[in-house]
């Protein structure tokens, strides 16, 4: 038993920095992963700082840290338990993965590493076993190394790290490039650990697997550059580039392309036939050219060009569905305003309401997304003015909360389970991508402070902290920083304090 609450059931991992156990939290009643850091690897203070640093990384693609502490001189780290396989285990059972799936998984890994790098945490020991799926299928980063502690190099270790330099964010991206290469080809780019001064470039992945696109070749090779400065600038550009490769957007033909095609057809050229490249350039297949990441609009990359992976190619178009929704919203509000003004003018011009013939209804504008407002009876002599508020764009039924936790009441399962569910709803909402990330991080920290208050028996203080968090979230919802639907709004609607 660790810290009087974590029961160690099965050892599931062992490495140079310590052991990982599948454990059971006897207070919160759920399965957790407990990492016992080996005291001989570093001083107690260094290990404690490592545990606290990893606990600062809050992201859907990073295993969440639930608790840190010290047990008889041995620092420990408690994280969520991930029941899925690691990428190393998937490679062993499945072999090379489909290109789209590999891009998606490596993109999730890059997002998790980027979140760690942003708070100053470097993994330092990235390999296929450093990424594991949760039960939902989401991939998460696990097994962060301790900064300043040297470990034997592997075939995923960056050259500068193997030469004795401290691990940095670029070192993690190199190792991630090795993992991506192996997911695509079923083999690592290099069979052995890197040697000092090695500058050889591996064969592009397409050499081993023909269906790997050229854009993915360039991205992976850039991640495996011997010079750290030549690698992508961070995990987020890598994620964006992989998303663009896995799900390319349809390209809009340049102005005049259709007329040029029609002109060519009128001169006898078959539609979709070969086009003569200007100035002796190599001809290419007919059809729209894919816009390379970082390339100019409608210009294919030339040999020797530098591919930039800092952003997705701009589309330049707003989704049609959003435009339609805004137009319908504007029309509906205009109709409501017109009806309201008519009632005010009509009511103000009459001292006593009298019967009047029913006017012939005008053509009705159908807006199915919005309800039509019409009075059941003529207005009284003192009409009420209905002013449309600047609230949500759609009307929703107000759901009654599941329960109101009055003073002294305890939610089902206890406060620990309830607070964990609250934090989970915030994390899930952020994963959807429609919640302000800074607000999500701040909220998680506030919830964890309240959880500590409950653990220490300070229920009144914990309830006050939770009330403050929920009030801030509802204010943020009014500002548009929290959506009107999703895991977090559902939780806020279900509970009242």
Question: DSSP string of 200-268?
Answer: PPPPPHHHH-TTS-HHHHHHHHHHT-SSGGGS-S-HHHHHHHHHHHHSPPPPPPPTTHHHHHHHHHHTT
What whole-number distance in Å separates Cα of residue 265 and Cα of residue 286?
Answer: 14
Lowest mean pLDDT among 17-26, 186-195, 253-262, 325-334: 253-262
In terms of residues, how long is the chain? 497
Q: Is the pLDDT higher at 176 or at 415?
A: 176
> Looking at the DSSP assignment, which residues form a beta bridge with residue 24?
7, 31
Nearest to 470 by CA among 426, 436, 409: 426
- Is residue 131 located within the same domain as residue 236? yes
Distance separating alpha carbons of residues 388 and 340, to the nearest angstrom = 9
Burial zone of 77 (CB within 10 Å; 0-12 exposed, 13-18 middle, 19+ buried): buried
Structure tokens belonging to residue 309:
């992976």
- Cβ(25)–Cβ(51) below 8 Å: no
Please give the average per-residue pLDDT across 59-81, as a whole number: 88
**Higher-confidence position of 270 and 228:** 228
Q: Between 71 and 212, whose confidence is greater?
A: 212
Q: Let me know whether 142 and 199 are in one domain.
A: yes
C-alpha to C-alpha distances, 259 to 253, 256, 289, nearest whole angstrom: 11, 5, 17
Q: What is the pLDDT of residue 379?
A: 44
Q: How many domains does the chain have?
A: 4
In a domain, 125, yes or no: yes
CA 8/CA 134 separation, integer angstroms: 20
Task: Judge whether residue 319 has pLDDT over 50.
Answer: no
Q: Residue 316 pLDDT > 70, yes or no?
A: no
Picking from 136, 197, 17, 41, the residue whose alpha carbon sits closest to that of residue 431 is 136
Domain boundary among 387, 417, 433: 387
440 in a structural domain: yes
pLDDT per residue over 18-42, tens digit each?
A: 889 999 999 989 999 999 887 666 6
Asked, for residue 356, whether it belongs to a domain, the answer is no
From 47-51, 339-343, 390-394, 401-405, the region with the lowest mean pLDDT: 390-394
Whole-angstrom Cα distance, residue 64 to residue 130? Answer: 14
Answer whether 0.75 is exceeded by the pTM: no
The answer on 60 and 92 residing in a single domain is no
- 207 pLDDT above the threshold of 90: yes
Reference 16, options 46, 37, 43, 45; nearest CA is 37
Q: Find the CATH number of the domain harbouring 39.
A: 3.30.200.20
Select the more confidently predicted residue: 215 or 145: 215
Q: Point out the domain boundary residue: 246, 276, 310.
A: 246
- The answer on 236 and 100 residing in a single domain is yes
Q: Is residue 116 part of a domain?
A: yes
Same domain, 93 and 227: yes
State residue 467 phi and psi, 5-degree precision: -60, -40
| Mean pLDDT value of segment 291-309 | 39
**Same-domain check for residues 54 and 111:** no
Tens digit of each residue's pLDDT (9 = 90 or more) over 234-289: 999 999 999 999 887 665 555 555 555 455 445 444 444 444 343 434 333 333 33
pLDDT at 120: 93
Residue 335's pLDDT is: 61
Q: Is residue 287 included in any domain, yes or no?
A: no
Supply the pLDDT for residue 101.
96
Give me the torsion for CA of 420, 424, 425, 428, rounded to 10°: 180
Picking from 190, 217, 246, the residue at the C-terminal end of a domain is 246
Give the number of other Cβ atoms within 10 Å of residue 167's Cβ: 24
CA distance 39 to 127: 24
What pLDDT does 482 receive? 87
Same domain, 92 and 18: no
Residues 452-469 have a mean pLDDT of 87
For the chain, the average pLDDT equals: 75
CATH number (domain holding residue 190)? 1.10.510.10
**Statement to judge: residues 49 and 114 lie in one domain:** no
The helix or strand, by DSSP H or E, that contains position 89, with its residue range, turns out to be: helix 87-94
Q: Is residue 127 part of a domain?
A: yes
Token reading at 189: 């780019």
Question: Structural domain of residue 374, as residue ranges?
Answer: 320-349+369-387
User: Does residue 272 lie in a domain region?
Assistant: no
Of 32-36, 96-100, 395-399, 420-424, give the lowest mean pLDDT range. Answer: 395-399
Decide: helix, strand or coil at residue 79: strand
Percent of the chain with pLDDT over 90: 34
Same domain, 380 and 471: no
- Measure the CA angle with vertex 110, ends 134 and 82; round to 5°: 15
419 and 472 fall within a common domain: yes
Q: Is residue 376 part of a domain?
A: yes
Q: What is the pLDDT of residue 188?
A: 92
For residues 116 and 141, the answer to whether their CB atoms sit within 8 Å is yes
Q: Tell me how far apart the alpha carbons of residues 21 and 139 are, in angstroms, rounded to a whole number.
A: 20
Confidence of residue 61 (pLDDT cuts 50, 70, 90): very high
User: Are 128 and 230 part of one and the same domain?
Assistant: yes
CA 144 to chain centre: 20
70 and 96 inside one domain: no
Residue in the block written with tokens 């490249």: 277
Cβ–Cβ < 8 Å for 85, 140: no
Q: What is the pLDDT of residues 351-363, one digit of tens each?
A: 444 444 444 444 4
């Amino acid at each position: 038993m660790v810290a009087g609450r974590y029961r160690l059931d099965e050892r599931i991992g062992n490495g140079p920095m310590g052991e990982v156990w599948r454990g059971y939290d006897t207070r919160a009643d759920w399965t957790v992963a407990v990492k016992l850091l080996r005291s001989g690897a570093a001083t107690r203070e260094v290990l404690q700082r490592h545990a606290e640093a990893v606990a600062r990384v809050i992201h859907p693609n990073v295993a969440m840290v639930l608790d840190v502490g010290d047990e008889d001189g041995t620092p420990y780290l408690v994280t969520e338990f991930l029941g899925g396989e690691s990428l190393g285990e998937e490679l062993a059972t499945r072999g090379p993965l489909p290109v789209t799936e590999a891009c998606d998984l490596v993109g999730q890994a890059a997002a998790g590493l980027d979140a760690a790098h942003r708070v100053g945490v470097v993994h330092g020991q990235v390999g296929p076993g450093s990424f594991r799926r949760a039960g939902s299928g989401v991939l998460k980063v696990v097994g962060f190394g301790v900064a300043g502690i040297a470990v034997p190099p592997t075939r995923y270790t960056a050259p500068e790290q193997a030469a004795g330099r401290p691990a940095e964010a670029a070192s993690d991206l190199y190792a991630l490039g090795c993992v991506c290469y192996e997911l695509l080809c079923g083999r690592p780019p290099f069979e052995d650990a890197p040697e000092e001064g090695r500058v050889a470039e591996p064969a592009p992945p397409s050499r081993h697997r023909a269906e790997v696109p050229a854009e993915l070749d360039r991205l992976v090779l850039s991640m495996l550059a011997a010079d750290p400065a030549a690698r992508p600038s961070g995990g987020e550009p890598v994620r964006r580039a992989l998303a663009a490769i896995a799900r390319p957007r349809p390209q809009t033909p340049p102005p005049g392309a259709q007329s040029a095609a029609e002109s060519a057809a009128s001169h006898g050229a078959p539609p979709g036939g070969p086009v003569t490249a200007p100035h002796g350039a190599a001809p290419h297949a007919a059809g729209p050219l894919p816009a390379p990441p970082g390339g100019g609009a409608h210009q294919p990359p030339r040999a020797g060009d530098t591919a930039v992976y800092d952003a997705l190619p701009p589309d330049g178009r707003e989704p049609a569905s959003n435009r339609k929704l805004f137009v319908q919203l504007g029309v509906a509000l205009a109709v409501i305003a017109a009806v309201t003004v008519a009632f005010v003018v009509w009511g103000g011009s009459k001292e006593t309401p009298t019967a009047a013939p029913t006017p012939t209804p005008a053509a009705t504008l159908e807006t199915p997304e919005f309800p039509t407002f019409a009075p059941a009876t003529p207005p009284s002599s003192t009409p009420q003015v209905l002013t449309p508020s600047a609230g949500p764009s759609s009307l929703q039924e107000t759901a009654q909360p599941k329960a109101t936790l009055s003073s002294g009441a305890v939610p089902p399962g206890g406060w620990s389970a309830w607070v964990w569910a609250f934090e989970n709803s915030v994390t899930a909402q952020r994963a959807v991508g429609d919640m302000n990330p800074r607000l999500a991080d701040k909220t998680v920290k506030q919830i964890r402070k309240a959880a500590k208050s409950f653990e220490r028996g300070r229920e009144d203080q914990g309830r006050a902290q939770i009330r403050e968090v929920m009030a801030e979230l509802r204010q943020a919802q009014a500002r548009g920083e929290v959506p009107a639907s999703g895991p977090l709004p559902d939780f806020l609607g279900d509970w009242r304090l």
